[in-house]
Amino acid sequence: MRRLALVLLLAACQMQAPGGGPAGVSGIADEAIEVTTLEAALPTDAAVASPAVTPPTAGAAPPTEGAGVTPAVAPPTAGTALPTDGTGVTPAVAPPTEEAAPPVEEALPPPISPEQAKCERGGGTWAKVGALGRICVKPTGQGGKSCRVKSDCKGECLAQSGTCAPIAPLMGCNEVMDNQGRRMTQCLE
């Protein structure tokens, strides 16, 4: 039953719109949208003059909408832009000023403790353990080697796999073999 549902679902994904081609344009935009660059939209020598704006007098009623009142400055229409070339007209929005960004300080690595330096000199890795602790973890060089007792390995002999541990010490609880071949649980925090 699941296979049939999967086949029907995949078949529905492969169906095409009527007409055999890709789905048509949605009802929102029935025709192609024209795209122009900003440089092409800027007027080259035409200046937009703005009529003088007169402040309202005290006690005058505000104009009502549709009462034949035209705005003091007409909003720009498509294809026109506000001049920015010293024609006396100030653009509605001031262009952003280029200020030097404050210099970004490079993040300094945290200082290395003497224990971490000693660990790394000895070929170990300074690893995070628990919420706040750190410990030096060193590779044993015998990871995966077959073992039956702890003395067969430089580190621990893992009881479940019968192989030497790849690192020492092993944190958490692990089933290990002791020197007599007995299986025991060792927990280190």
- Kindly report whether the global pTM for this prediction surpasses the value 0.75: no
Q: Which pLDDT does position 107 carry in this prediction?
A: 77
Average pLDDT over residues 52-78: 55
pLDDT at 27 over 70: no
**Distance between CA 42 and CA 34 in Å, rounded?**
16
Q: Of 101-110, 135-144, 147-156, 170-179, give the lowest mean pLDDT range.
A: 101-110
- Per-residue pLDDT tens for 128-164? 887 778 899 999 998 889 999 999 999 899 999 999 9
Q: Which pLDDT does position 36 carry in this prediction?
A: 76
Q: Which pLDDT does position 4 carry in this prediction?
A: 72
Angstrom CA distances, 142 to 34, 59, 123, stand at 69, 95, 15
